Amino acid sequence: MKFDRIDMNALERELITLRRDLHSCPESGWTEFRTTAKIITELEKLGLPVKFGREIHTPENMYGMPKPEILEECYQRALGESDRPDLIEKMKGGFTGCVAVIEGELPGPTVGIRVDIDCNDVSETEDPGHFPVANGFRSRHKSCMHACGHDAHTAIGIGTAKILCAYRDVLKGKVMLVFQPGEEGLRGAASLTATGMFKDCDYFFGGHIGLKDTHYGLVAASSTGFLASTKFDAVFHGAPAHAGLAPNLGKNAMAAASTAVLNMLAIPRHQDGSSRINIGTFRSGTGRNVVPDEAELTIETRGITSEINEFMEKSAKRVCTAAAEMYDCGIDINFMGSAGGVVCDPEAVEKAKKILPTVEGVDEIVENFDFGAGEDVTTIMKAVQSHGGKVTEMVFGMHLVAPHHNNRFDVDERVIGLGARCFASLALQIEE
């Protein structure tokens, strides 16, 4: 489909500028205050009604919230970086993300489109050869980086909205455009789905850039190989003591956590398919001569099926509990987020296969793409399927200069316009 009502070259330049702005001020899950305010401002320019704040969330399902002091620090930082304190104040407490509905002038289905907006807990390289460094939009936030392309995803979402608004007179039905917070750690989708907002979706499309080193112009109509995953923290509680004078009076939480780390990594892989475990961070200790009384591990398990992930999760928790007991320590295991596997619906995949070849810039269609990781979108996809809606998760190919979640990751910015054209084409042609 050719979008001749829009200067696509000008739109793509605008979207790239937006992506670079978002890249320079990345925000991790539940702290996307400035990011959300930026999105809402762009949607308001189009005259679209936008829901955000507490009206799109269920607080009891907001998993993996940052510690209160971190949340407050990020909130204050956003107030200083944004010209929309009126919006940010309504998100206080972590109620980030937003939803816009584009009403077509013709009857038709409800199409859901979701993009994610959060960043990774990664410090971006300062190498002068890194494109964002060389062009002045490297992350300004410590230990925050868009190392998975969610800045581009956000720009794709805004581009989709701009295209669809230019074609509302021929749009059949309506499009619900979701800008989801907290995808990393599989935290944000549950809060949105619990509101019931997806119960009327007839079709639902998600999309991700990259994932594997391919080429610009390749688009996968569906994804397979989603890994079910659980995220949890293990906090070990011991007792401090003088390490030289009376070490026997201490209970070494660091030793307990260290034992847990080594033995979790030794859990056998599962015979029925892919299984994973990772301990991402280990925090402990207050001083060289003090027996550590606290230790905290951030842990994730994965499996190609929910059953395999459950095996890894139960095994990991058993190891942590046993390690704590070995050193006479207490332990708290805190759930932080999860997502299951999902199978894309053939009806949605066939629609995508029919429509995607009409999109300018698409030169290769792949029916199935091995996703090979967990994705919070699966929670939304399952919610849509539970009401009879049809779903698929697409992949927009590009060459990778570095892997995802790496401090040298970058985006082929041509994929932003392509992704927007793909989503808009699907929404406009789904009934044809």
Name residue, tokens 């494109």: 131
pLDDT digits (tens, 9 = 90+) for 279-291: 999 999 999 999 9
SS3 state of residue 6:
coil
Name the token pair of 250: 């201490």
Name the token pair of 388: 């009879």
pLDDT surpassing 80 at residue 432: no
User: Helices 68-81 and 33-45 sit at what angle, rounded to 10 degrees?
Assistant: 40
Pairing label, strands 98-103, 172-180: antiparallel
Q: How confident is the model at residue 199 (pLDDT cuts 50, 70, 90)?
A: very high
**Full strand arrangement of the beta sheet holding 330-339:** 275-284, 294-303, 228-237, 330-339
Q: Please tell me the CATH code under which domain 228-338 is placed.
A: 3.30.70.360
How far apart are the C-alpha atoms of 6 and 20, rounded to whole Å? 22
pLDDT surpassing 90 at residue 44: yes
Strand partners, 338: 230
pLDDT surpassing 90 at residue 374: no
**In 10 A of CB 90, how many CB atoms?**
17
8-226+341-429 folds as: Aminopeptidase (3.40.630)
Of 85-94, 223-232, 315-324, 328-337, give the lowest mean pLDDT range.
223-232
- Encoded amino acid at 19, one letter: R
Q: How confident is the model at residue 431 (pLDDT cuts 50, 70, 90)?
A: confident
C-alpha separations of 137 from 18, 145, 432 in Å = 11, 11, 41
pLDDT digits (tens, 9 = 90+) for 109-144: 999 999 999 999 999 999 999 999 999 999 999 999
SS3 state of residue 30:
coil
Q: Can you give the pLDDT at residue 372?
A: 83
Domain boundaries, the chain: 8-226+341-429, 228-338
Q: How confident is the model at residue 2 (pLDDT cuts 50, 70, 90)?
A: confident
Strand partners, 300: 231, 278
pLDDT surpassing 80 at residue 1: no
* Spatial CA neighbour of 277 closest among 225, 228, 329: 228
Mean pLDDT taken over the chain: 96
pLDDT digits (tens, 9 = 90+) for 141-192: 999 999 999 999 999 999 999 999 999 999 999 999 999 999 999 999 999 9
The answer to whether residues 240 and 292 touch, using CB atoms and an 8 Å cutoff, is yes
pLDDT digits (tens, 9 = 90+) for 326-372: 999 999 999 999 988 889 999 999 999 999 999 999 999 999 999 98
